[in-house]
Structure 1
Amino acid sequence: MLELSLKRWRRGRLCLSGVMTIVVGFHLSGYRTFKSYYLDQVLRYQRPYYPGLVSYNRFVELLPGIA
């Protein structure tokens, strides 16, 4: 019998302090839109600093939970 191992992919997790640091970094940057900042800076250059970094869409879903 062939047994398939199906892995369940968990959504990436980012701690509250990581979310707040990224938002503050955006406000201190010269970027006009958060999306361009996140895609150009965070995902490209700052990935090693945030274990569990999530996609832009998932990050936007996390934002209401920090208030």
Structure 2
Amino acid sequence: MSLEEASRQLEAAIHDARVSFDCILLEELDRAHVNAITARAAVDAAEQAIRVELERKTEEERERSDSSSQE
């Protein structure tokens, strides 16, 4: 996953949260519930993608630091 994927997931979460909100107003609670769950799943996927990118950057910085200290 990449940061682009995280962005897409967050956009999907926004959409699903809005649909859920509208469904609540329309008293379509089953549909609201489903969309709230899918919004949460998209947020979780985005968070995971961001975490992976942070770990990758931390590892790159550590490797850069290690190689410069060996010189």
TM-score by length of 2: 0.29
Higher Cα radius of gyration: 2
| Structure number with higher relative contact order (C-alpha < 8 Å, ≥ 6 residues apart) | 1
TM-score (norm 1): 0.31
The structure richer in helix per residue is: 2
